[in-house]
Amino acid sequence: MPMRFVNRYQCPRCAKEWTDVWDAMCDDDCPHCGFRHITPLRSEDVEGSEEDDQLLARKR
C-alpha cells in the first residue's frame, strides 16, 4: 500500500481548521475562505486505502 499523510491545517486568515489526506506533506488552500499555501500544523503517516486513492484522484 502506498504511504499517505493525514495533514492537519489551520487557516491564519479565518482560523478554521480542517484535515485532508494527501500522498505528501504539502501546503493546501483554505476550503472556507480561499487563503492559499497553508503549511500543515501536523502530518501523520498512514497507510493508503482505496478510498484515499479515489479522493486523491479527484484532487488531481
Provide the residue range defining the domain that includes 19: 3-59
Q: Each residue of 6-51: pLDDT tens digit? A: 999 999 999 999 999 988 889 999 999 999 999 999 999 887 666 6
DSSP calls for 1-60: --EEEEEEEE-TTT--EEEEEESS---B--TTT----BPPSEEEEEE--HHHHHHHHHH-
Overall domain count for the chain:
1
What is the predicted pLDDT for the residue at 33?
98
Residue 55: band (very low, low, confident or very high) from pLDDT cuts 50, 70, 90: low
- Whole-structure pTM over 0.95, yes or no? no
